[in-house]
Structure 1
Amino acid sequence: MKICLWVSMVLSVGLFTPAKAVDLRLLLTETKQSGGYQVGDAAAGFRLKGTDGSMVSLNDFNNAKGVIVIFTSNHCPFAKAYEDRIIALNNKFASQGYPVIAINPSDPATHQDDTFEKMKERAASKGYGYPYLADDAQQVAKAFGAGRTPQVYILQKNGAKFTVRYIGMIDDNPQDPAGVTKLYADEAVSNLLSGKPVVTTITKPVGCAIKWKN
């Protein structure tokens, strides 16, 4: 009953329009993943293959002030809606020490748009200025506790550790960039750069459920 009411509310505010139809199952399906990092935890290192063919690890960013890790995908309508905003985040903050690292944990057997070749095509066509990594084994997504695409984890470099400072949405309007009122990721990084605490540390991500391999 509660789910039906929630769906009615979502439809009434126009989140799903004919031009951007989304299978509600992508949003409502519960994922098997649980746990993962909490705010204040230190993230473990990882090493994944990027669309340029190189292997990229978290340790490659030891000279950065932090990183903006975003779990995303090619097929997801929400990820597509946020793509330009992800590019904008990197354009704004990479030069200030907080580059974006995009990771695709989606099973290409479920969505052919998420094959490595399609990832390469997408990165090239959009001119990503950040690494786009394939999490084939889905181990990094599981370690982080990611459940949806897109989902953001902002990590601050503290000594030898990358500490989680924010988890959740990029902003508060998946559908319309012009209607955004809360720039969660932007505000979190801006606060960290200013030496201030992150005010909003957790938000509930809205996006496509990650399909876990059996």
Structure 2
Amino acid sequence: MVKLKYAALLVAFVLVCAFAVPGARGYKVGDVATDFSLKNIDGKLVSLKDFNSAKGFIVIFTCNHCPFAKAYEDRIIALDKKFKPQGYPVIAINPNNPSKAPDDSFELMQQRAKEKGFTFPYLFDDGQKIYPQYGATKTPHVYLLQRTDQGNIVKYIGAIDDNYEDESAVKQRYVEQAIEALQNGKDIETKETKAIGCSIKA
């Protein structure tokens, strides 16, 4: 009887792992990213399908409190201002659980967006359902999507650039370079980098 219980537990553990690991892994370059419907700071739900003229999206998982995220805020605003008119708007998503990170509450998201003058949607991943699908682990963590007939294809994953501390010292602007490659019909040289930032608070 003990052996049967042990075997049953082992089978259950294997099944849980089999189904849990892919979800934890998230999207890879070349995968189709599913759409979502998340609450924006204005209280309205936002989905990727709402952007009729978009050629793609700069999806950035970010937040209020993380010093890395704060260091990139102005650069995120600059990305949106530069590439939104070209068809690649920024879609920012706060993945943190406010009970673990009180500074990332919806109300404080609204306040931060107003203070900084965000030009893009700042969405709340209520219930933390979307960031695990993507596989985001840090704030900020970027997923560049290209809209195609097959869906929104993941084209780049990782950091915004190679120097969070000093924008003037940046040598590789990964997101910008990836978008420019897509616009020119060229292959993206750097498709994935390590995201540098705070761990997502679950």
Q: Name the TM-score, length of structure 2 as normaliser.
A: 0.87
Residue matched to 1:194: 184
Residue matched to 1:21: none
Structure 2 gaps of 5+ residues are 1-22
What amino acid sits opposite 1:63 in the alignment? Answer: S
Residue matched to 2:148: 158
Alignment of 1:99 with 2:89, yes or no, is yes
- State which of 116, 122, 125 in structure 1 corresponds to 2:112: 122
8 Å Cα contact 1:154/1:185 also seen in 2: yes
Residue matched to 1:112: 102
8 Å Cα contact 1:62/1:157 also seen in 2: no
What amino acid sits opposite 1:171 in the alignment? Answer: D
Deviations along 1:94-122, one digit per CA (max 9) or x if unpaired, are 00000000000011112211000000001
Q: Aligned partners of 1:146 and 1:45: how far apart in 2?
A: 15
Q: Aligned partners of 1:205 and 1:126: how far apart in 2?
A: 23
SS in 1 for 2:38: strand
Residue matched to 2:9: none
Deviation at 1:160, TM superposition (A): 4.9
Q: Aligned partners of 1:80 and 1:207: how far apart in 2?
A: 10
Report runs of 4+ in structure 1 exceeding 2 Å deviation: none
SS in 1 for 2:25: coil
Deviation at 1:61, TM superposition (A): 2.2
Deviation at 1:169, TM superposition (A): 0.2
- State which of 12, 17, 36 in structure 2 corresponds to 1:46: 36
- State which of 62, 66, 70 in structure 2 corresponds to 1:76: 66
RMSD: 1.0
Q: Aligned partners of 1:113 and 1:96: how far apart in 2?
A: 33
Q: How much identity, in percent, do the aligned residues show?
A: 55
Q: Aligned partners of 2:169 and 2:197: how far apart in 1?
A: 17
Q: Name the TM-score, length of structure 1 as normaliser.
A: 0.82
The number of aligned residues is 180
Structure 1 gaps of 5+ residues are 1-32
Deviations along 1:141-181, one digit per CA (max 9) or x if unpaired, are 01000000000000001115100000000000011111111
8 Å Cα contact 2:26/2:132 also seen in 1: yes
8 Å Cα contact 2:24/2:133 also seen in 1: no
8 Å Cα contact 2:101/2:201 also seen in 1: no
Deviation at 1:53, TM superposition (A): 1.1
Q: Aligned partners of 2:116 and 2:72: how far apart in 1?
A: 13
Q: Aligned partners of 1:50 and 1:184: how far apart in 2?
A: 26
8 Å Cα contact 1:81/1:175 also seen in 2: yes
SS in 2 for 1:155: strand
Q: Aligned partners of 1:44 and 1:114: how far apart in 2?
A: 25
Deviations along 1:60-100, one digit per CA (max 9) or x if unpaired, are 12421000000000010000000000000000000000000
